Structure 1
Amino acid sequence: MRSIPLTWLPRLLVLSPSPKVLLFIRLPRPNITYVVSMVSQFMHSPSVSHRNAVDRILIYLKSAPWKGLMFSKNGDLEVIGYTDADWAGSIADRRSTSYYFTFVRGYLVTWWSKKQNVVSRSSAEAEYRGMAHGVCELLWIRRLVTELGFKPGKQMELHCYNKSATDIAHNLVQHDRTKHVEVNKHFIKEKIEKKIIRLPFVKSEDQLADILTKAVCGRVFHDSLTKLGIGDIYAPT
């Protein structure tokens, strides 16, 4: 995948400062998904600070036009996902945002971020709603690769570092704290019982989806990009 041309983007943003332009910029660049999703929320009524943030995104892109995703042949057809959510992250309405990464054969193939439709009353609920989206994505990828004749030979993995959310997924007992996520709970539990997916616990420092939920330090950010397979697309192979 080659980087998109950047020379015309500042002029296009001046002419049409819409969320669609920013979303187009981030399509081949998962490393800017978080910041683009944040500034896109204010593009209908931007302030000077929002425009300054957009300018900084463009400066970052122009400073590293060679960064992109590279793919090569790998014999192990393994499907893995990482899911995360920022609980009540939106200051305006206190809704949470769900994020996930999915890998096939060790290579990043899809990534997604979207604000949840309702306000979550706990971090476990926010994570669980995000987990449901991650499961749906894994099921879609499984169906796609099966139609292509490459059915995964083992359970797909969905990594989540919120222990409460993973405990809810494995716990059959319903109680007052989980009634409001009952539909998602049964959906995920069904896939676990059918051995389609499994939910291994992942440590916070190994949660790749963190760069989609919050601003992290430079070391963590660049380390995550390496793990995601984002590197120099012009480097000799």
Structure 2
Amino acid sequence: METQHRLAPDKGEPLQDIQTYQRLMGKLIYLTVTRPDIVYAVHILTKYMQQPTTEHMTAVKHLLKYLAGNAGQGILLASKYAAQLTAYCDSDWASCAFSRRSTSGFCIMLGASPISWKTKKQSVVARSSAEAEYRDMALVSCEVTWLSTLLKDMGLHDLPPTVLNCDNQAALAIAANPVLHERTKHVEIDCHYIRDKVKAGEIKTKHVPSYAQVADVFTKQLTAKQHSYLLTKLGVCSLKPGGEVKREQLHYYILHCTKQEFVREFVSEFVAVS
């Protein structure tokens, strides 16, 4: 999404046919299973599924054109890296103009390839950016625990501690401090959970500079340059050689590489709305 483009419920005229918007969003949600680069945009656009406007449909078309130009974008599962989990987590603060709840985002890498990612609005209002980030750390820690158990069941034992990268120094200080202060006791459960994981040697927290925070892809509207840079670090790359992908190439790529009927319908609807 464009960095200066802010959507709101009252922008634009109400759509006469909201079913088209809803169908497109349903198929875009499915694409996020293998396209982490569109997760944040889809998260924003799904907020308006009940009462979409022309402004929201314009944003959907913008996203569809991005997909058409990057039809070969995908996840490369490289085999040359060690089997180690690395997590990145990030959160904005009070980004929702109506509820003032924060948005959490994380991704977990196996070697250099992403295997789990999510963008989610937090269930409570955070009173500081550190609190928002810390709740996000607790969220990704739960996912790391589940993935570690899954990998052990698959025979990958003796995994090294998962490195949890966060760009908020205050949140990292809370995780390292064994003493609960008055200002942090309302997040006591999250504090104890993360500290237990750190103490057990399952998770190792690490500060990462903001410019290299991969999880920004899931919580912020970025410039094209920064978005492309972080996608490279995330392990998302173009799997098709050559330059710009044309519409007929998009047809071939989806229809011949993915045989789901609804994906064919998605391509048809893309042609119709564009």
User: TM-score, normalising length from structure 2?
Assistant: 0.78
Residue 132 in structure 1 maps to residue 129 in structure 2 = no
Q: Name which of 123, 126, 143 aligns with 1:120.
A: 126
Question: 5 Å matches for 1:135-154?
Answer: 135-154=141-160
Q: CA deviation at 1:19?
A: 4.8
Could you say which residue in structure 2 is the equivalent of 1:168? Answer: 174
The 5 Å alignment of 1:20-39 reads 20-39=26-45
- In the alignment, the residues of structure 1 paired with residue 212 and residue 62 of structure 2 have an alpha-carbon distance, to the nearest angstrom, of 27
- Structure with greater proportional helix content: 2
Q: Is the 8 A contact 1:13 1:21 kept in 2?
A: no
Which structure 2 segments of 5+ residues have no match?
Answer: 1-17, 243-274
Correspondent of 1:105 among 106, 111, 135: 111
Counterpart CA distance in 2 for 1:39 and 1:228 is 23
- Go from structure 1 to structure 2 and tell me whether the alpha carbon gap of 1:183 and 1:19 turns closer, same or farther (over 3 Å shift): farther
1:80 aligns to 2:80 (yes or no): no
Q: 1:235 to 1:145 in 2, by over 3 A?
A: farther
Cα contact 1:22–1:40 (8 A) shared by 2: no
Q: Judge conservation of contact 2:108–2:144 (CA < 8 Å) in 1.
A: yes
Give yes or no for the alignment of 1:223 onto 2:229: yes
- Shift in Å, 1:26: 2.1
For 1:51, the aligned partner's letter is M
Q: SS where residue 199 of structure 1 aligns? A: strand
Write the letter of the residue equivalent to 1:25: L
CA contact 2:21–2:57 (8 Å) conserved in 1? no
Contact 2:89 2:107 in 1 (8 A): yes
Q: Structure 1: state its 5+ residue gaps.
A: 1-11
> Partner amino acid for 1:115?
K
> What do residues 34-76 of structure 1 show as CA deviations (whole Å, max 9, x unaligned)?
1110111111111111111011111110111111111131351
State the superposition RMSD in angstroms.
1.9
The equivalent of 1:40 in structure 2 is 46
Mapped partners of 1:41, 1:122: distance in 2: 24
Deviation digits for residues 187-229 of structure 1, max 9, x if unmatched?
A: 0000111111110111111100112111111111111111111
Distance of 1:223 and 1:235 partners within structure 2: 19
The structure 1 segments of at least 4 consecutive aligned residues displaced by more than 6 Å after TM superposition are none
Q: Percent identity?
A: 35
Counterpart in 1 of 2:61?
55
Q: Which residue of 199, 205, 220 corresponds with 1:199?
A: 205
Residue in 1 that maps onto 2:271: none
Deviation at 1:143, TM superposition (A): 0.6
Q: Do the aligned partners of 2:89 and 2:215 also contact (CA within 8 Å) in 1? A: yes
Matched residue type, 1:163: Q
Structure exhibiting the larger radius of gyration computed from Cα positions? 2
CA contact (8 A) 2:103 2:120 kept: yes
Write the distance in 2 (CA, Å) between the matches of 1:19 and 1:188.
35
Equivalences, count: 226
Q: Does the Cα contact within 8 Å between 2:94 and 2:101 map onto a contact in 1?
A: yes
- Cα distance, 1:153 vs. partner? 3.1
Match of 1:209 in 2: 215
Q: For the Cα contact (< 8 Å) 1:18–1:44, is it kept in 2?
A: no
